[in-house]
Amino acid sequence: MNLNLFESNSLLHNSYVPWFVNTLLLALLIWQTMALFQKQPPSQAELPQNRSFNQPDNPIANIASMHLLGLSKVEQAPETRLNIILSSIFQSNQPENSRVLISVGSDTQSYKIGDVLPGQAVIEDILTDRVLLRYQGQLQVLLLPRDFLNLDERILP
């Protein structure tokens, strides 16, 4: 018995074999597609119990209460009551190069971070519009005078 697959009587040349294989593959594809769309929703027993956001074992609430980015010390610090006036700010990308001009009475001097001001306040940080001071162990803010910040009135004739 000679089985030659390339003869005209072979199984590969019969027209019903390719049709049967294609039909079978199409049926499998349709069956898998329908199975994707017919998934049943989970029963009530399988659903997680409804929890409050503020419960202590809620991981999202725990992360939110960690203050990963920190609390703004500038927002919490009160404005200083020291008798000093912030005249100018020269802020740099490198904090050690930032300077401020602070007036006490008629005397104006230049200060940097870490310097001690009259009244024993220490400059903690120099920001764009304010200086953060440590006075008697507490943080305080020295702001630029409000009329100094209102540039429109000084520029307009």
Q: Does residue 14 have a pLDDT over 80? A: no
How remote is the C-alpha of 62 from its chain's centroid? 17
Average pLDDT over residues 33-62: 59
Domain with 12, as residue range(s), is 1-36
Residues 14 and 79 in one domain: no
Which pLDDT value is given to residue 53?
A: 44
Could you tell me the two tokens for 116? 């001690």
Q: Does residue 62 have a pLDDT over 90? A: no
Residues 98 and 151 in one domain: yes
Q: Above pLDDT 70, what percent of the chain?
A: 61
Q: Is the pTM of this model over 0.85?
A: no
Q: Does residue 125 have a pLDDT over 80? A: yes
Residues 78 and 148 in one domain: yes
Residues 86 and 151 in one domain: yes
State the residue for tokens 């520029």: 155
Residues 83 and 129 in one domain: yes
- Is residue 5, in this structure, part of any structural domain at all? yes
Residues 19 and 86 in one domain: no
- Is residue 123, in this structure, part of any structural domain at all? yes
The number of domains in the chain is 2
- Is residue 78, in this structure, part of any structural domain at all? yes
- Is residue 122, in this structure, part of any structural domain at all? yes
Q: How far apart are CA 68 and CA 17, in angstroms?
A: 66
Query: Could you give the 3-state DSSP secondary structure of residue 95?
Result: helix
**CATH, residue 126:** 2.30.30.830
Residue 72 pLDDT grade (very low, low, confident, very high; cuts 50, 70, 90):
low
- Is residue 98, in this structure, part of any structural domain at all? yes
More confident residue, 136 or 45: 136
Which pLDDT value is given to residue 52?
A: 46
Average pLDDT over residues 52-69: 54
Average pLDDT over residues 28-41: 77
Which pLDDT value is given to residue 142?
A: 92
- Quick one: CA dihedral 71, 73, 75, 76, positive or negative? positive
Query: Could you give the 3-state DSSP secondary structure of residue 89?
Result: strand
Distance set, CA 44 to CA 38, 40, 50 (Å)? 18, 12, 11
User: Beta strand pairing status for 99-104 and 107-111?
Assistant: antiparallel
- Is residue 100, in this structure, part of any structural domain at all? yes
Weakest mean pLDDT among 34-38, 67-71, 108-112, 136-140: 67-71
- Is residue 63, in this structure, part of any structural domain at all? no
More confident residue, 85 or 56: 85
Residues 78 and 151 in one domain: yes
Q: How far apart are CA 124 and CA 10, in angstroms?
A: 92
- Is residue 50, in this structure, part of any structural domain at all? no
